[in-house]
């Protein structure tokens, strides 16, 4: 009986031992399998945080010289090649000057005629006119003298009763007419032209001189010279081409001094400011970055293709003839920068209930750590 009671009391102890062993085994298995979790980690770094905006732009020289044909004509000679460096005053192109010479000759003839007319006016007319007017004065004087002698003769006859009063009156009228004719002829000889005539003649001389100066300038313009030192970057014509007046002949610029006309979408304009740094990329030279800054922010909105944009002018501070004019580039404006900002990958940031936090590994465990975001 006692043996049976002892056996019954041993069974609960055995069950407790078995449960304890099972718990140990389970804990051991969990410790070996579930507690060690592979976690992807990323290093935390400090770096410069930049706020940027990118857009397209076009390169143009800061002070280009574009030579144009002074008049319609033929390109006689081109003295330079594209890419060639030229000095100020260097001859670039010569136009056929036959037409210009013809205009100069015509202008000289017109001026000579206007000056002769003014000279004749000052003298009272041309030599032929003065001779004709002098002859008219002599004829009028002879008529006046004859009329005066006739009046005396008629008056003498009337005193003797041999002539009537009507004959005397007719002789008197003849004398008055002859005297008026003499006065008119003398006036035309000595004072034919008035102040208005002289002013008109002087104006014609001034116009003719201006026309001659323009023609001579056109003749000088047949030789196209560069007013600046720089590079020849575009020649749209060839020798012996006929070009209309005003057509482009050759482009010259200092390709170390470039600007970019950039087009920013309307919502981005408010973030721009003069002096902000700019990075410039050209697809034809991948990996190369030029630098500059904003010279003028947009002051109006324009339509550009399907966009409403503002036009900003940017400098290129490190151009060395390696960025061609009219190139289409991508510009990136650095609107703001914050140095020494703690940086993590975006996927490492978690948000819960308005809290921003990351997980750190501390003593082999993940520890939730709240962080504060940098906002612009």
Domain around 293: 51-62+254-341
- The pLDDT score that the predictor gives to residue 315 is 96
Residues 70 and 205 in one domain: no
- Whether the per-residue pLDDT at 125 is higher than 80: the answer is no
What mean pLDDT, rounded, does the chain reach? 82
Residue 283 in domain: yes
Residues 206 and 286 in one domain: no
Give the whole-angstrom CA distance, residue 294 versus residue 274: 5
What per-residue confidence (pLDDT) applies to 40? 72
* Rounded CA separation 66/227 (Å): 10
Tell me the average pLDDT across 205-211: 86
- Whether the predicted pLDDT of 62 surpasses 60: yes
Q: What are phi and psi of 45, to 5 degrees?
A: -130, 160
For the chain, how many structural domains are there in total? 3
**Phi, psi torsion values for 367, nearest 5 degrees:** -120, 125
Query: Tens digit of pLDDT for each residue in 233-245?
Result: 999 999 999 999 8
Same domain for 263 and 245: no
Which residue is listed with tokens 């703001």? 336
For residues 227 and 310, membership in a common domain is answered with no
Highest-confidence segment of 96-105, 181-190, 331-340: 331-340
Residue 204 and residue 89 in contact, taking contact as beta carbons nearer than 8 Å = no
Q: CA-to-CA distance for 323 and 292, rounded, in angstroms?
A: 13
Question: 368 lies in a domain?
Answer: no
pLDDT (0 to 100) of residue 72? 82
Res 12 pLDDT > 60? no
- Looking at the fold, whether 323 and 240 belong to one and the same domain comes out as no
305, 333: one domain:
yes
One domain for residues 230 and 204: no
| Structural domain contains residue 353 | no
pLDDT band at 288 (very low <50, low <70, confident <90, very high): very high
User: Which one of 100-109, 164-173, 310-319, 336-345 scores highest in mean pLDDT?
Assistant: 310-319
Q: Does any domain span residue 275?
A: yes
40 in a domain, yes or no? no
Q: Is the pTM of this model over 0.85?
A: no
- Is residue 53 helix, strand or coil? strand
Q: What percent of the chain has pLDDT over 90?
A: 35
Query: Are the CB atoms for 315 and 295 separated by under 8 Å?
Result: yes
CATH of the domain at 335: 2.40.30.170
- Residue 118 included in any domain: yes
Residue 307 lies in a domain: yes
DSSP state of 151: H
Q: For residue 347, is it within any domain?
A: no
More confident residue, 189 or 44: 44
Strand partners of residue 356: 351
Whether residue 200 is predicted with pLDDT greater than 70 in this model: the reply is yes
Quick check: 230 pLDDT over 70? yes
* Count of positions (residues) in the chain: 376
The answer on 199 and 235 residing in a single domain is: no
Indicate whether 228 and 328 sit together in one domain.
no
């Amino acid at each position: 009986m006692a043996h049976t009671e002892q056996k019954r009391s041993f069974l609960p102890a055995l069950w407790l031992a078995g449960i304890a062993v099972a718990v140990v085994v389970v804990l051991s298995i969990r410790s070996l399998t579930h507690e060690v979790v592979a976690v992807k980690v990323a290093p935390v770094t400090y770096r410069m945080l930049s706020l940027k905006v990118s857009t397209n732009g076009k390169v143009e020289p800061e002070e280009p010289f574009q030579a144009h044909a002074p008049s319609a004509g033929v390109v006689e000679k081109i003295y330079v090649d594209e890419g060639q460096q030229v000095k100020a005053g260097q001859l670039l192109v010569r136009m056929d000057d036959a037409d210009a010479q013809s205009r100069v000759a015509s202008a000289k003839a017109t001026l000579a005629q206007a000056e002769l007319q003014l000279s004749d006016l000052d003298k009272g007319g041309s030599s032929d006119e003065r001779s004709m007017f002098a002859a008219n004065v002599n004829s009028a004087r002879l008529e006046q003298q004859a009329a005066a002698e006739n009046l005396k003769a008629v008056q003498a006859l009337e005193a003797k009763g041999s002539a009537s009063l009507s004959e005397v009156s007719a002789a008197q009228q003849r004398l008055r007419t002859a005297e008026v004719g003499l006065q008119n002829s003398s006036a035309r000889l000595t004072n034919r032209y008035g102040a208005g005539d002289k002013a008109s003649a002087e104006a014609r001389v001034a116009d003719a001189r201006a026309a001659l100066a323009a023609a001579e300038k056109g003749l000088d313009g047949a030789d196209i010279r560069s007013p600046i030192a720089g590079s020849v970057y575009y020649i749209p014509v060839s020798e012996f081409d006929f070009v209309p007046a005003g057509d482009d002949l050759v482009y010259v610029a200092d390709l170390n001094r470039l600007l970019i006309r950039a087009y920013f979408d309307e919502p981005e304009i408010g973030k721009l400011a003069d002096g902000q740094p700019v990075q410039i990329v050209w697809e034809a030279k991948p990996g190369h970055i030029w630098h500059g800054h904003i010279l003028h922010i947009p002051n109006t909105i324009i339509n550009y293709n399907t966009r409403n944009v503002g036009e900003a002018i940017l400098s290129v501070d490190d151009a060395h003839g390696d960025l061609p004019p009219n190139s289409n580039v991508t510009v990136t404006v650095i609107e703001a920068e914050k140095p020494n900002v703690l940086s993590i990958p975006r996927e490492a940031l978690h948000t819960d209930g308005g809290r921003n936090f990351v997980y750190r590994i501390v003593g082999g465990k993940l520890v939730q750590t709240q962080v504060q975001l940098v906002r612009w």
